[in-house]
Structure 1
């Protein structure tokens, strides 16, 4: 997997990275404990278009999804 770079919107709490591998772009969103990865075919978009897709509105949806993931994990961990 080839690291292209960190995307705008990254912060100490959320790292956003762009990778390329096997004719796909990988947009990886990471917190300290979890990650979300979106795979997008190079046949459908350019690197510039992928970068443009990562808007503040999309990042807010990602953050909400992370909150839900942490809640799910907390519920699972409470069972042990």
Structure 2
């Protein structure tokens, strides 16, 4: 699990190997504010990020989750 900050948002990036161990599945959760703060608000509940191609490494899956979060934040679709 990686935690990153983009502006006023805290992003939790996760990756898990699929059941057949042939790839990695990216997941993302987005908070407005810090997740450890009482004032934080979860604006995107933990969800799997759909990708065109399976991620062959944990790093690729994390990068896909990061790109998804950046797109959602950039478009203001929260």
Identify the TM-score tier after normalising by the shorter chain.
0.3 to 0.5
- The structure carrying a bigger strand percent of its residues is 2
- The structure carrying a bigger helix percent of its residues is 1
Tell which structure's C-alpha radius of gyration is larger: 1
RCO higher in structure (CA 8 A, sep ≥6): 2
**TM-score where L is the length of structure 2:** 0.44
**TM-score where L is the length of structure 1:** 0.43
